[in-house]
Amino acid sequence: MFTKYHPTKGEMLQILSPEGKIINTKFQPEISTEKVLQAYKLMVYTRTVDLKTVSYQRQGRMYTYAPNFGQEASMIGTGFHMNQEDWLVPSYREMGAFFHRGVTPTDIWLYWGGHEDGAKFPKATNTLPISVPIASQIIHAAGIGYGLKLQKQKGIVYTYFGDGGTSEGDFHAGLNFASVWKAPVIFICQNNQYAISLRQEKQMASSNIAIKSLAYGMPGIQVDGNDFFACYSATQKAAQHIEEGKGPVLIEALTYRRGAHTTADDPSRYRSKEEEKIWEEKDPILRLKRYLVAQKLWSEEDDTKLTQQYEEEVEAEFLEYEKYPPYELNDVFQYLYNTMPDDLVKQKQEYEKYLAWKESRS
Amino acid sequence: MFTKYHPTKGEMLQILSPEGKIINTKFQPEISTEKVLQAYKLMVYTRTVDLKTVSYQRQGRMYTYAPNFGQEASMIGTGFHMNQEDWLVPSYREMGAFFHRGVTPTDIWLYWGGHEDGAKFPKATNTLPISVPIASQIIHAAGIGYGLKLQKQKGIVYTYFGDGGTSEGDFHAGLNFASVWKAPVIFICQNNQYAISLRQEKQMASSNIAIKSLAYGMPGIQVDGNDFFACYSATQKAAQHIEEGKGPVLIEALTYRRGAHTTADDPSRYRSKEEEKIWEEKDPILRLKRYLVAQKLWSEEDDTKLTQQYEEEVEAEFLEYEKYPPYELNDVFQYLYNTMPDDLVKQKQEYEKYLAWKESRS
Amino acid sequence: MTLMNMVQSINSALDIKLEEDPKVLSFGEDAGLEGGVFRVTENLQKKHGEERVFDTPLSEAGIIGSAVGMCMTGLRPVAEIQFSGFVYPAYDHIISHAARMHNRTRGRYDMSMVIRMPYGGGIKAIEHHSESMETLFAHVPGLKVVIPSTPYDAKGLLISSIESDDPIIYMEPKRLYRAMKQEVPDGKFQIDIGKAKIVQEGSDITVVSYGAMMKEAREAAILAQKEGYSVELIDLRTIYPLDRKTVAESIRKTGRLLSVTEGPSFSGIGSELVTLANEEAFLSLEAPPTRLAGFDTIVPLPKGEHFYFHTADRILYEVEKLVKY
Amino acid sequence: MTLMNMVQSINSALDIKLEEDPKVLSFGEDAGLEGGVFRVTENLQKKHGEERVFDTPLSEAGIIGSAVGMCMTGLRPVAEIQFSGFVYPAYDHIISHAARMHNRTRGRYDMSMVIRMPYGGGIKAIEHHSESMETLFAHVPGLKVVIPSTPYDAKGLLISSIESDDPIIYMEPKRLYRAMKQEVPDGKFQIDIGKAKIVQEGSDITVVSYGAMMKEAREAAILAQKEGYSVELIDLRTIYPLDRKTVAESIRKTGRLLSVTEGPSFSGIGSELVTLANEEAFLSLEAPPTRLAGFDTIVPLPKGEHFYFHTADRILYEVEKLVKY
Ligand SMILES: Cc1ncc(C[n+]2csc(CCOP(=O)(O)OP(=O)(O)O)c2C)c(N)n1
Ligand SMILES: Cc1ncc(C[n+]2csc(CCOP(=O)(O)OP(=O)(O)O)c2C)c(N)n1
Ligand SMILES: [Mg+2]
Ligand SMILES: [Mg+2]
């Protein structure tokens, strides 16, 4: 696959057409029908949580949030391949991959709702928190890969970043270190074609992102990021490559962020309605649904039911989330070091004294 | 040339064989015989200054110094193409390119002799000082390129770095910015195969360095860095490419540092005598001399005379350099800002008071 | 004169300098077409062209490193870092080159750049969007650090910064971007870099602050007055070089110093101000010169951020302690 | 006990921890095969293997960023930065991740790393090889900063650092690497992080220093004694968290403070120490607590460096001024 779709050729791996037809049987992934259905459900679930979170934000029940609407195949098609022992090293736009690992909507809301507890992930292992400084997580992934390899632990590191992220020096250092170390890392670029307002052409002069793999002597492949099968298939091949001891792989999943960069962003400033329309047609969930329905594995009716079920579940969970215990002064201090230094103890005490004074005056 | 020697093919441009024969007429550069002789002389001059500086260092008349013995074709073959209006953005191992621009041995000695005046370059324009933080100058080059383009000034930026330098994030950002801007920059990697003690294979997993150009959609080419003609020819082509408005080019000049990394380094810790021997045979000056002698443009006798002349000149200049006026307290303060802030005025005065006190006690 | 908020007054300063001097450029991530995530550079691209007002690829090292190169060709880049929390990939270029090139080349190259960045907290943002780390620049020889606290000052200081031949770190208190409006001249005017401003005269205590904390400090001064404490309030405006003279004179007069700063306490600007008090006014001190600084912790996420940022009453509390000392 | 210089004692600490704990790694540029440009890690690769003691590609961001990842897999990386002047490409990873990951994940991941780097001047090196910028780490919440001044302390402190679950910036005064030898235990021992050491008791003035300046401070204490001034000399050893108690008690006793630090003055550790004196010993002060810090300039190249670094007689001069105040 990596030869056939060598990035110098400029050909993108696509398996499922926007109409939901398999157009490339040769590279169909090995995946059971049951799993495909699971993945589809996860895509729908992710979208439900995403859209609801945007609406909670609009209602003032959530701070600024970064939606992922439209990128479900890209993150779930790749992330669904993760096993228990694997590692997820995300950026901030991989909610579907988070869910696959056991992160809950409550975790997500805690984070975007402004609470550090949203990075605790009590139900997920080997899952890093959201990484805000663009591309920095890519090097962490290389280090985790080294750690796994050195300690002969099973597991592959899945790390995510955007098209914009490829411009940072950290992208370069991360891929270089991992390639020199032959570390078990799959580098996944969710190329949604924009870094906030900046289009890919102004971000880089390379013909595609996959080709950047050549700088590190690793395979690279561009896949249709709205095609669940293409994403899954390339990831599967990448994992095989790694298991054969051949080192890391770069996957570029070409997709589109259908929503805003964050709820504070206004995409109409930098892209057209026409363009948005084109990508609506290529929607990843619609596409996989067409396939499933055509295969008689799913029906519109199932879909309506599922969506409704998820909406209710999510709604209920959100109400629960909103009862989360309030933030305490101690939460500011207690986790910075393993043992709180005297300076911090004192700063906290000073603050408490002030609170007492304030109390005494009111 | 950039197609024929496309870095994915793994073929290196060589024009002059180690025996001094032209083996590739197709890509011979356009350069007059006179200029070749000039370049040869500059190579010999550079080596003379280099070897003498190492010996001054051994005599305790110079601090730690980074020799460039063996890299004369790589830096002069590329740098000799610079015109008056061009810019030199060096690392620290491009003495020959410095000389081509009018930098003097005295400037060089001032610098390595521990005086900031060694970056003043009174006789050279558009020439940046030595850059110590590896690869950082690469981004400066991109910025200068943007400045020239924006202001419609003539000139091409020649920036240099080592094989180790390609690992820094700055390499990545510099090439990316320049490629997006189509800035007039030639990126020249003097690949001497070592970063201090680290061999290229442990520095990167890519098959060569030129191939990294693909990540930026710019042409890249690997040339024999000990072959003056190959270096000059690729640079000429790169300059043409830029003049046609097609943006930057990456040149990898494969060479060998025959001396130590710096006078503080002991290469026997990380490389073998045999390897050094192999590269002695491939010496760039020897090679060009063989060619010139075969062409009857030069003789061994000329060579002996020239070397002796240079040795005397350099010796005389060094004695002159050693009379350079002493460093003054004011030199610490005066150039930090355009106008000295009160804080610095006061710090200087305090120091002077202390000096007076010290004086008064002795 | 127009009523402007700080976003508008900064935009106006940039507009004027772009208009007046073809050497001036303005660029950064999303700073061109989009006009910046805070809209500070809105309309500037339309007006001054894509070559002078532009978006860069996503690399802070690229932004500042290339600004260093641009300066060498005689340009005067004004580079925007989207949030001060993302300046660190560029930190090497700031500290190793922007701050040093003039000294290194014995004055041959001016680093005539301004690095603009929104800083500080209070806008309920996610991690890395709320820090106040001016000390990391003020401690570095070769830089100047400017922080305005009002729309008026923001404009005058930015114009001076752009005209400065030395590199300026210009930090914008994002919390104040739209927090207040003020009459600001439409045309060009300057405020000297390195000059503090006595915002209010007083006799009991000198309160020194800058940036977003000035707003709280002003309120605190009013509260203090009600309590009968006369506060002399100084807005530093420039952090480095510090206007020692103005601050020292005030402390010598009041005998008391409270510095109010937002960022971490340890070795922060507050400790520099306390040192100043000792160096220049030791014999006048009637109470320990004191700093009120941020906790030496990470700025909490929005749910906890109210614990971190000083309020007017916290300042009052400290003032009262010192006056009663 | 063996007579060791600091290079040897650091090497010994690394050797012991590599031997004892398979989770410990040591790596950096030229830090494997070559044993580091200062030979601090000499022979460790031979002894502990290429997988645990190794050379990295030339990227400081890569070194520290990957150390962050390694910690998450339970390893205890000891990363070497070749010179502290080259740490800045890694600064983002230090400040944004190493310092924050534990807090960010509410204790889920320990950043059990040590970042070793030679720092400071006095070895006649080219630019960027002589700086003393510990403030840039000490000011950052989430880090601890350790700086030894003797071979003995270097070993004990490094062992403690490697065993610390918090990230440690361990700065090695390169000027002292081979400047003196001392009897150092061959086996394992520890010195607590966060504890200063009273090197010499005295009654007239408290001199606080650390790292390379301790050597000058020791000499100055002897000179001072000859002049009849009794110096209490404190070696901080840990910069953050600062041992306020030890320093404060001393100042309360002597009534005078002189801090002696190498790096830039503005908002440096010296100003923190002056602040400490005010906060904890105001009423005992008999002279202004004073800092002797580096100029706020670039460290001059070798021909001028003697102007920059404090000497014992400069310290004596300051001591005399304060005692006679
Ligand atoms: C180092 C750094 N610089 C700037 C930012 C501000 N920022 C947040 S998201 C973003 C764009 C990222 O684009 P991309 O990598 O394509 O990811 P996407 O948001 O499209 O998923 C920017 C510039 C940041 N978070 N970190
Ligand atoms: C950012 C940075 N890190 C580390 C160093 C220390 N250092 C000086 S030269 C060097 C190796 C450079 O190798 P290469 O780029 O191949 O250039 P060469 O010396 O071989 O010409 C290193 C690591 C430095 N100067 N700057
Ligand atoms: Mg994107
Ligand atoms: Mg090299």
What ipTM does this complex have?
0.98
Assigned architecture for domain D2-184: 3-Layer(aba) Sandwich (3.40)
Task: Give the Cβ contact number of residue A356 at 10 Å.
Answer: 10
Looking only at the bridges linking them, the beta strands covering B220-224 and C144-146 are: unpaired
Phi-psi domain of B20 (left: phi exceeds 0; alpha: psi -120 through 50; beta: other): left
pLDDT in tens, C147-185: 999 999 999 999 999 999 999 999 999 999 999 999 999
pLDDT (tens digit per residue) in D248-260: 999 999 999 999 9
Ion ligand 4 residue ranges (Cβ < 5 Å): B 162-163, 192, 195
Nearest to C68 by CA among C41, C49, C92: C92
Name every chain B residue with its beta carbon within 8 A of the beta carbon of A203: 180
Taking CA atoms, C319 is separated from A264, C205, C207, C222, in Å, by 38, 7, 8, 12
Helix (H, G, I), strand (E, B) or coil at D157: helix
Residue A51 has pLDDT above 90, yes or no: yes
Q: Which residues of D touch A341 (CB under 8 A)?
A: 194, 240-241
Contact D125 B204 (CB under 8 A): no
Which run of H or of E encompasses C316? helix C312-323
Q: Are B44 and B285 in contact (CB under 8 A)?
A: yes
Nearest to C214 by CA among C253, C171, C251, C183: C171
A138 Cβ below 6 A of ligand 1: no
- pLDDT tens by residue, A171-207: 999 999 999 999 999 999 999 999 999 999 999 999 9
Chain D hits for B61, CB-CB cut-off 8 Å, are none
From chain B, pick out residues whose CB is under 8 angstroms from the CB of C238: none
Contact C242, C232 (CB under 8 A): no
Residue whose Cα lies nearest atom 20 of ligand 1: it is A195
Please answer yes or no on whether D70 and A148 come within 8 Å at the CB atom.
Answer: no
Cβ of B340 under 8 Å from any chain A Cβ? no
Q: Average pLDDT, stretch B103-118?
A: 98
- CA-CA distance, A334 to A330, in Å (whole number)? 6
Q: Helix-strand-coil percent breakdown of chain A, rounded to 5?
A: 50, 10, 40
Pairing relation of β-strands C205-209 and C76-80? Answer: unpaired
B271 part of the active site: no
For residue B214, the 8-state DSSP code is G
Q: Please tell me which of the candidates A8, A173, A182 has its beta carbon nearest to residue B8.
A: A8
C265: Cβ contacts below 8 Å, ≥ 6 apart:
A343, A347, C271, C291, C293, C294, C295, C296
Q: Are D135 and C263 in contact (CB under 8 A)?
A: no
Closest CB from C34, C58, C308 relative to A332: C308
For residues C7 and C16, give the distance between their C-alpha atoms in angstroms, rounded to a whole number. Answer: 14
- Closest-lying ligand to the alpha carbon of A254? 3
Mean pLDDT confidence for B263-278? 96
Q: Which of D86, D88, D295 sits opposite B332 (nearest CB)?
A: D295
Residue environment code for A6-40, b if the CB has 16+ CB neighbours within 10 A, otherwise e: bbeeeebbbbbbbebeeebeebebebeeeebeebb
Q: Any idea which ligand is nearest the CA of A91?
A: 1
Domain ranges of chain D: 2-184, 197-323
Active site residue B257: yes
Res. A127: pLDDT tops 90: yes
Classify D33 as helix, strand or coil.
coil
Per-residue confidence (pLDDT) for residue D73, from 0 to 100: 98
pLDDT band at residue A43 under the 50/70/90 scheme? very high
Ligand 2 pocket, residues with Cβ under 6 angstroms: B 93, 132-134, 161-165, 190, 192, 194-196, 257, 261; D 29, 58, 60, 82, 86, 89
Residue C127's nearest CA partner among A126, A144, D103 is: D103
Ligand 1 pocket residue status of A134, Cβ below 6 Å: yes
What's the pLDDT tens digit per position in D112-148?
999 999 999 999 999 999 999 999 999 999 999 999 9
* Distance between CA atoms of residues D188 and D158, nearest Å: 11
End-to-end Cα, chain D, rounded Å:
45
For B118-183, give the secondary structure using H, E and C.
Answer: HHCCCCCCCECCCCCCCCHHHHHHHHHHHHHHHCCCCCCEEEEEECHHHHCHHHHHHHHHHHHHCC
Question: Is there a contact between D288 and C295 if contact means CB atoms under 8 Å apart?
Answer: no
Over its C-alpha atoms, chain C yields an Rg (Å, rounded) of 19
pLDDT band at A362 (very low <50, low <70, confident <90, very high): confident
How far does the CA of residue D294 sit from the closest CA of chain B (Å)?
9
With a cut of 70, list the residues of chain C below it in pLDDT.
Answer: none
Active site residues of C: 129
The minimal CB distance from D66 to the residues A142, A335, A336 is found for A142
Q: Which of D86, D87, D115, D129 to mutate to test the pocket of ligand 2 (most atoms within 8 A of CB)?
A: D86
* Residue A270 known to be catalytic: yes
Residues near C46 by Cβ (< 8 Å), separated by ≥ 6? Answer: none
Whole-number pLDDT of residue A174: 98
Q: What is the CATH number of domain D197-323?
A: 3.40.50.920
Q: What DSSP string describes B2-59?
A: TTTT-GGGT--B--B-TTS-B--STT-----HHHHHHHHHHHHHHHHHHHHHHHHHHT
pLDDT level of residue B132 (50, 70, 90 thresholds): very high
Give the closest residue to D168 by CA, choosing from D191, D139, D142, D197.
Answer: D142
- Region D309-317 average pLDDT: 98
Interface test with A, best of D55, D73, D105, D169 (most A CBs within 10 A): D73
Question: How close, in Å, is residue C298 to chain A by CA atoms?
Answer: 8
